[in-house]
A and B are shown apart, each in its own frame.
Chain A
């Protein structure tokens, strides 16, 4: 099935500059329908109001972290199949295992480049 380039994507990070970077990189590959949230709690509230085709989230945020958001999403019947990519500076094996255990679709470690983001988007959504 072709990827819907107009689908809404939610990006979540407590650093505004990172939100701006990800938004611009998504625009470069053709995704412009992007919403933002500053932490997992705000993100989950937005997801209750709107069906997103993809969530791209940082991990280390407060009060609700990225992995807590992921767990909430996977536990919710309406959201559980939402593709979820973690973009984070947490690079230890135990982090990746924990994220995979919580149901992450893919994992990008910071700092990252546009090519890596595009590869992971393709892996999760399909070719576009």
Chain B
């Protein structure tokens, strides 16, 4: 085998604790091709093998070009952070608004203490309905957390693409992000945590009461 190709292979074997990038694979394929081309005319090497390797080299170049056109760096550094920032802003804004609404409801409750009993009761009922409605903020917050988790997974996959281009920083980021995602799935109850369900899928309080009663 060509000595420079041998040297490349040995270097890769020594560095086998990391993923090999597309660029490195393309370089190796190019080296193999060059080595074979120089031997083809002399020793009768199978032209078909050379053709296969040329096709492989072209496929790798084409894949790199297509991946590059996706602008993975823009997705990683701009679009995903922009999306998570917007989602964080939504959670914060709904929290502030909900607290404002509840503050007003608490004020109404205090004022109602000076009213005749019938009026007080009606106002208290209205105040209770306001408190019940404010629980939307908890549900929307949980749904947004699920979306942020999905974005983190996409972010990790994009880092995987970037590291395939030889981006060591992206490789390290992916390792850290995967560790963070893995640690959140290590909780014993993680497999049965689903968060708020869609209307057709959620069990009602009645369903849950019947299930609990069946244990008695």
A28 and B128 alpha carbons, distance in the complex (Å): 8
Residue of B nearest to A102 (CB): B189
Question: Contact check: which of A25, A98, A110, A114 meets B189 at CB < 8 Å?
Answer: A98
Question: B205: which of A25, A60, A67, A116 is its contact (CB, 8 Å)?
Answer: A116
Shortest C-beta distance, A32 to chain B (Å), equals 13
A48-96 residues with Cβ-Cβ distance < 8 A to B are 59-60, 62, 65, 67-68, 89-96
Asked if B137 and A15 sit within 8 Å, CB to CB, the answer is yes
Contact across chains for B137 and A65 when beta carbons are under 8 A apart: no
The reply to whether B197 and A25 form a contact with Cβ atoms under 8 Å apart is no
- Number of A-B residue pairs, CB cutoff 8 Å, is 108
| Contacting pair A106 B128 (CB below 8 A) | no
Question: Quick check: A24 and B205 within 8 Å, CB to CB?
Answer: no
- Map CB proximity to A onto B188-216 as digits: 1 under 8 Å, 0 otherwise: 11001111110000111100100110010
CB distance from A59 to the nearest CB of B (A): 7
Determine how close the nearest CB of chain B comes to the CB of A124; give it in whole angstroms.
11
Chain A residues closer than 8 Å to B134, beta-carbon distance: 17, 21
User: Which residues of B sit under 8 angstroms from A18, Cβ to Cβ?
Assistant: 135, 137-138
B102 touches A91 (CB 8 A): no
State which of B128, B189, B192 has its C-beta within 8 Å of the C-beta of A92.
B192
B184 — which chain A residues lie within 8 A by C-beta?
62
Q: What residues of A have a CB within 8 angstroms of the CB of B132 in the complex?
A: 21, 25, 111-114
Residues of chain B contacted by A44 (CB below 8 angstroms)? none
Residues of B near A90 (CB, < 8 A) are 192-195
Q: How far is the CB of A111 from chain B (nearest CB, A)?
A: 5
Chain B residues whose CB sits within 8 angstroms of the CB of A111 once the complex forms: 132, 135-136, 138-139
Contacts of A91 in B (CB 8 A): 197, 202-203, 208
Q: Does B106 contact A (CB under 8 A)?
A: yes
Cβ contacts under 8 Å, B208 to chain A:
91, 96, 107, 109
| 8 A/B residue pairs, CB under 8 Å, sorted by A | A17-B134, A68-B188, A91-B197, A98-B192, A109-B208, A110-B196, A112-B205, A114-B132
